[in-house]
């Protein structure tokens, strides 16, 4: 009887099964700790620092483009560059995730090379279509092709501590979102460097991080065989409800990231201080991506994602009441913490759905691709509302409604998980 129970336990535990069925000897100690596991998490955080972190700095570039190279374009038109970049960052995970599952971490090298090339090409841009091609399209695609394998690799090495590990990984994007806006703000306002060399210096910083990161990141499990995409996942109500809820959250999430510096300047904030606002927001986001991730492993990942959505939505409603520098800074801290939790817990929630760890990259890629359409739509619609009404009351109300409904939608996901509402799932 004991032998039967032991056999049954191995058959029903997807992590144990994936370890023992692999052609390569897989040591159970690799899970949730060890130098290799944490090396993958750290290397992945460097990749997100250089990619997602740079994308988080677009608020500074939005303001710069409006007054320099693209001063003849509307805020909505300029925001399409950043929103398209974010769309492809999420959307190209549809390719990067399955490729990682099927071929391993070696796919990171060409993606990283393409990304560095896109940043150098951005430094040479002068017109709208050039920025759109280099920064929006090529930059976004190469970002997503780099980010999805990193998240999938980290998910393979962690199970019980997955929330904490993936939170640390995604926190790299927050650090990048702190460093790049400050660096760009200083360099772009310098009379010595100019736009071209400011962007090229950032590219050299990225190169110094991406090379060692690609050497650290590797797959734990043997390649997955079979179909490139696993479309049967969309028959799972649990999976679909998570995607739908996060989609709504992402429709409104990035409005402050794109427009808070512009809002601050319109309310008397200096240009220099406004360039620091995005850094303050991302600094708080670092803690928002780590602390809730740790708590999620104990209190429930869907519970924490629900709480993050509700608190973020309420804060967006408060956006239109900000009047002083102090209130804008306090808002940046609170919003960075709460919204950061959504970004990190979204990936954790998607990664826990597949029964086999070999499918994590594909599940992440498909889910992030759908969410990418929300990121594509949200900021340009925000910009159109700002241009039409000449203020931020309407856009903050709309964004807040989307995020709050998305947060409440996580209750449906909890029910669909089969573990009960507000269970520690």
pLDDT per residue as tens digits for the range 377-400: 888 888 888 888 877 889 999 999
Q: Confirm whether 5 is domain-assigned.
A: no
Q: Confirm whether 65 is domain-assigned.
A: yes
Where does the pLDDT of residue 417 fall: very low under 50, low under 70, confident under 90, or very high at 90 and above? confident
* Structure tokens given for 280: 């303050």
Mean pLDDT of 81-95: 89
According to the model, what pLDDT value does residue 384 have? 84
Q: Confirm whether 423 is domain-assigned.
A: no
Mean pLDDT of 252-280: 84
Q: Confirm whether 132 is domain-assigned.
A: yes
Q: Confirm whether 14 is domain-assigned.
A: no
Q: Confirm whether 10 is domain-assigned.
A: no
Instruction: State the CATH number of the domain containing residue 171.
Output: 1.20.1250.20
pLDDT per residue as tens digits for the range 243-258: 999 999 999 998 888 7
According to the model, what pLDDT value does residue 425 have? 62
Report which of residues 197 and 278 the model is more confident about.
Answer: 197
Query: What is the domain extent for residue 130?
Result: 22-416
d(Cα 19, Cα 15) in Å, to the nearest integer? 6
Residue 27 has pLDDT above 70, yes or no: no
* Minimum mean pLDDT range among 151-160, 199-208, 405-414: 151-160
Average pLDDT over the chain, rounded to whole?
87
According to the model, what pLDDT value does residue 262 have? 82
Percent of the chain exceeding pLDDT 90 equals 51
Number of structural domains, the chain? 1
Q: Which residues, including other chains, have CB under 8 Å from residue 174's CB and lie 6 or more apart?
A: 53, 56, 282, 283, 285, 286, 288, 289, 336, 340
According to the model, what pLDDT value does residue 274 have? 84
Q: Confirm whether 6 is domain-assigned.
A: no
* Minimum mean pLDDT range among 174-188, 198-212, 265-279: 265-279
According to the model, what pLDDT value does residue 6 have? 40
Q: Confirm whether 250 is domain-assigned.
A: yes
Q: Global pTM?
A: 0.82
């Amino acid at each position: 009887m004991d032998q039967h129970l032991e056999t049954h336990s191995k058959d029903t535990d997807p992590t144990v099964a994936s370890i023992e069925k692999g052609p390569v000897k897989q040591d159970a100690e690799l899970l949730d700790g060890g130098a290799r596991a944490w090396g993958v998490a750290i290397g992945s955080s460097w990749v997100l620092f250089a990619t997602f972190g740079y994308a988080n700095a677009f608020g500074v570039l939005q303001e710069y483009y409006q007054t320099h190279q693209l001063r003849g374009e509307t805020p909505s038109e300029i925001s399409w560059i950043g929103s398209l970049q974010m769309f492809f960052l999420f959307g190209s995970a549809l390719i990067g995730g399955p490729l990682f599952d099927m071929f391993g971490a070696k796919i990171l090298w060409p993606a990283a090379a393409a990304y560095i090339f896109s940043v150098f090409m951005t430094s040479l841009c002068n017109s709208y279509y050039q920025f759109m091609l280099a920064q929006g399209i090529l930059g976004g695609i190469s970002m997503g092709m780099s980010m999805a394998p990193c998240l999938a690799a980290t998910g393979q090495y962690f199970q019980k501590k997955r929330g904490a590990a993936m939170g640390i990984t995604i926190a790299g994007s927050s650090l990048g979102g702190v460093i790049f806006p400050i660096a760009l703000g200083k360099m772009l306002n310098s009379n010595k460097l100019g736009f071209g060399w400011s962007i090229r210096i950032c590219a050299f910083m990225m190169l110094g991080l991406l090379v060692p990161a690609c050497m650290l990141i590797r797959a734990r499990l043997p390649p997955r065989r079979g179909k490139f995409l696993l479309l049967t996942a969309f028959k799972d109500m649990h999976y679909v409800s998570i995607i739908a809820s996060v989609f709504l959250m992402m429709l409104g999430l990035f409005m402050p990231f794109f427009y808070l510096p512009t809002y601050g300047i319109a309310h008397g904030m200096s240009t220099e201080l406004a360039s620091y606002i995005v850094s303050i927001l991302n600094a708080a986001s670092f803690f928002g991506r780590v602390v809730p991730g740790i708590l999620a492993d104990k209190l429930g990942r869907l519970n924490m994602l629900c709480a993050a959505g509700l608190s973020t939505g309420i804060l967006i409603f408060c956006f239109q009441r900000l009047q002083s520098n102090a209130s804008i800074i306090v808002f940046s801290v609170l919003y960075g913490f709460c919204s950061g939790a959504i970004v990190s817990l979204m990936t954790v929630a998607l990664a826990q759905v597949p029964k086999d760890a070999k499918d994590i990259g594909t599940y992440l890629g498909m889910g992030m691709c759908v969410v990418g359409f929300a990121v594509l739509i949200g900021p340009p619609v925000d910009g159109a509302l700002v241009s039409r009404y000449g203020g931020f009351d309407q856009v903050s109300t709309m964004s807040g409604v989307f995020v709050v409904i998305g947060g409440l939608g996580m209750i449906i996901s909890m029910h669909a998980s089969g573990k009960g509402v507000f269970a520690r799932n």
